[in-house]
């Protein structure tokens, strides 16, 4: 398995361009199941989760072609022989549950493996199923699979007990052909939800209220395929913003959706970082000591849970005490143990982590546990003394396209090596230290 080696201490300087948003592409790929024709999606990043979703669509019977180095995806689903998402695929990518809504809407039936838990929490899909039942679907759970069927879904008023991003997206996808109007209350406001609603409306759907907590979907008879461009990835952008701040760098992050990063911008400024809108992007200048700030994750537009691990790495070297509270997932502190192995001073107290900034972190061999925790370890390695070696970076590849190449281009001393080479490289670094 590949590993990433980093020798810390370099300032990041230069510019980097953000790719398309993983969490916007996946629901758009699910939406392609709704139409019998070529759906084109552009600005697609090359990520493992997207490859997994392609395998799932092909398994269902979709034809898929990639142009422009696979950054343009073309998908056509004329028919689906067996509307089933198998365990082997769903267990590696829980977003596979997004095929439920479109399969029931167009093919009247879907059988999808229950996603099961994951490193950051139980992550049930009970609210997805509650909404489908409210729309008149039969829902059965057995042998680890959920089967959903309906001759035709009917519009319903659905209150989402918990704000759920893919739950909102799944029910929007299900409701586009329903008989009547569906209203989703306490819906997710994330930009990725708006991106999906905009694409569905361009396909002929009638959706209003996306971006607010109440979304109305009026069922229509038919949709048509379109070409649509994916919005930039606000979490990739935020990760580079934190990297620039931590390394006391000066980085222009291009194609950065600053309007989607309001909460992070405020926290970075509170911590003393300069964040300036420039050239269709954001310039981050971090040349003064980092101040400790408290962070509480919340559904959008609150501080994003997907940026919590990255900001914790930054607070680990800030001057003072910060309290980081994770309200969205119940187990999203897997990065804490690894950061402590680098000398970070962090104490977990229930849903909060108390971080006491230290002068320097020290490089160490680390193990990634989930996507955003991996990013946090990379960021810590950028500022640590000596060599940091991050293993199990397949987690990282799910959501970041060639992050080591982008960081290297900004001046980081970082490389990806195959595991058999790691020992040799690590000893080279050890000799250099001597
Ligand atoms: C989406 O996951 C994102 N993934 C996640 O990004 C992100 O962390 C999360 O939203 C929150 O912003 C995609 O969009 C593909 P939720 P999702 O349903 O939709 C509970 C990343 O790093 N819940 O909004 O699965 C759930 O347990 C990934 O890119 C229920 O209780 O998250 C959680 O506590 C990680 N019942 C909370 O809601 C349900 O039926 C929010 O989960 C659904 C969710």
Instruction: Give the 3-state secondary structure of residue 390.
Output: strand
Nearest-CA residue for ligand 1 atom 31 is 124
| Overall pTM surpassing 0.85 (yes/no) | yes
Residue 115 has what pLDDT?
Answer: 87
HEC letters along 125-189 = CHHHHHHHHHCCCEEEEECCEEEEECCCCECCEEECCCCCHHHHHHHHHHHCCCECEEEEECCCC
Q: How far apart (Å, rounded) are the C-alpha atoms in residues 206 and 282? A: 34
Give the nearest ligand 1 atom to 235 CA: 29
C-alpha neighbours within 13 Å on the C-beta side of residue 273:
32
Instruction: Say how many Å lie between the CA of residue 163 and the centre of ligand 1.
Output: 9
Q: How far is the CA of 350 from the centre of ligand 1 (A)?
A: 20
- Quote the tokens at residue 257: 């959706």
At residue 225, the 3 state secondary structure works out as: coil
The CA 24 to ligand 1 mean position distance, Å, reads: 13
Output the six-digit token pair for 336: 């804490």
Q: Hey, how many other C-beta atoms are within 10 angstroms of the C-beta on 87?
A: 16
What digits encode the pLDDT tens for the residues 381-401? Answer: 999 999 999 999 999 999 999
Contact 111, 138 (CB under 8 A): no
Q: What separation in Å is there between the alpha carbon of 189 and the centre of ligand 1? A: 13
Helix H or strand E segment including 107: helix 100-107
Calpha distance 57→46 (Å, rounded): 16
pLDDT at residue 366, as a whole number: 97
Query: What per-residue confidence (pLDDT) applies to 1?
Result: 81
Residue 140 in contact with residue 146, Cβ under 8 Å? yes
* Residue nearest atom 30 in ligand 1 by C-alpha distance: 124
According to the model, what pLDDT value does residue 11 have?
Answer: 97
Q: Which protein residue has the closest C-alpha to ligand 1 atom 27?
A: 123
Ligand 1 first shell, C-beta below 6 A: 22-23, 26, 95, 121-128, 162, 164-167, 305-306, 328-329, 371-372, 399
**In degrees rounded to 5, what are phi and psi of residue 106?**
-100, -35
Q: Which residues of the chain are modeled with pLDDT < 70?
A: 419-434
Q: Which of 20, 22, 23 is the pocket-test mutation for ligand 1 (most atoms within 8 Å of CB)? A: 23
Residue nearest to atom 38 of ligand 1 (CA): 164
pLDDT tens, 196-248? 999 999 999 999 999 999 999 999 999 999 999 999 999 999 999 999 999 99
Report cis status (omega within 30 of 0) of the bond before 269.
no
The answer to whether the beta carbons of residues 148 and 104 sit under 8 Å apart is yes
CA of 231 to the centre of ligand 1 (A): 19
Which position among 64, 118, 348, 358 bears the catalytic label?
118
**Where does residue 150 fall: left (phi above 0), alpha (psi -120 to 50 degrees), or beta otherwise?**
beta
118 classed as catalytic: yes
Å from CA of 165 to ligand 1 middle: 6
Q: Cα angle vertex 12, ends 8, 16, to 5°?
A: 130
Task: Name which residue sits closest to atom 7 of ligand 1, judged by CA.
Answer: 306
What order do you get walking across the sheet with 84-85 strand by strand? 84-85, 109-113, 145-149, 138-142
Distance CA(415)–CA(27), nearest Å, equals 32
Which atom of ligand 1 is closest in space to residue 188's alpha carbon? Answer: 24
**Which atom belonging to ligand 1 lies closest to the Cα atom of 192?**
14
The predicted-structure confidence for 28-37, as pLDDT tens digits, reads as follows: 999 999 999 9
């Amino acid at each position: 398995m590949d590993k990433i080696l980093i020798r810390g201490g370099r300032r990041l300087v230069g510019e980097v361009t953000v790719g398309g948003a993983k969490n916007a592409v996946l629901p758009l790929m699910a939406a392609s199941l709704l139409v019998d024709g070529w759906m084109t999606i552009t600005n697609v990043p090359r990520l493992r989760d997207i490859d997994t979703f392609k395998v799932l669509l092909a398994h269902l019977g979709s034809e898929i072609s990639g142009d422009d180095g696979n950054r343009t995806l073309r998908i056509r689903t004329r028919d689906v022989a067996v509307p089933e998402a198998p365990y082997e695929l769903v267990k590696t990518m829980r977003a596979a549950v997004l095929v439920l809504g479109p399969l029931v809407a167009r093919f009247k039936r879907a059988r999808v493996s229950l996603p099961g838990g994951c490193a950051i929490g139980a992550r049930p899909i009970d609210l997805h199923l509650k909404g489908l039942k409210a729309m008149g679907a039969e829902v059965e759970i057995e042998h680890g699979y959920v089967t959903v069927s309906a001759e035709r879904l009917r519009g319903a008023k659905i209150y989402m007990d918990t704000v759920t991003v893919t739950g909102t997206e799944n029910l929007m996808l299900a409701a586009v052909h329903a008989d009547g109007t569906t209203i989703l209350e306490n819906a997710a406001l994330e930009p990725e939800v708006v991106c999906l609603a905009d694409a569905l409306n361009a396909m002929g759907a009638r959706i209003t209220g996306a971006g607010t907590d109440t979304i109305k979907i009026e069922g229509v008879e038919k949709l048509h395929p379109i070409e649509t461009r994916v919005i930039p990835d606000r979490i990739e952008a935020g990760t580079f913003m934190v990297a620039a701040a931590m390394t006391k760098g000066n980085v222009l992050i291009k194609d950065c959706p600053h309007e989607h990063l309001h909460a992070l911008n405020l926290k970075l400024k509170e911590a003393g970082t300069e964040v300036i809108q420039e050239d269709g992007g954001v310039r981050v200048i971090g040349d003064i000591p980092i101040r400790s700030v408290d962070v509480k994750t919340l559904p959008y537009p609150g501080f994003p849970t997907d940026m919590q691990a990255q900001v914790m790495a930054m607070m680990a070297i800030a001057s003072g005490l910060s309290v980081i509270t994770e309200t969205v997932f119940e187990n999203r502190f897997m990065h804490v143990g690894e950061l402590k192995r680098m000398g970070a001073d962090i104490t977990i107290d229930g849903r909060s982590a108390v971080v006491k900034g230290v002068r320097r972190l020290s490089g160490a061999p680390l193990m990634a546990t989930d996507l955003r925790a991996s990013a946090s370890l990379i960021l810590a390695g950028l500022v640590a003394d000596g060599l940091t070696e991050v293993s199990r970076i397949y987690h990282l590849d799910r959501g970041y396209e060639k992050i080591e190449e982008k960081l290297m281009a900004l001046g980081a001393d970082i490389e990806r090596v195959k595991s058999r080479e790691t020992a040799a490289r690590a000893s080279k670094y050890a000799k250099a230290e001597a």
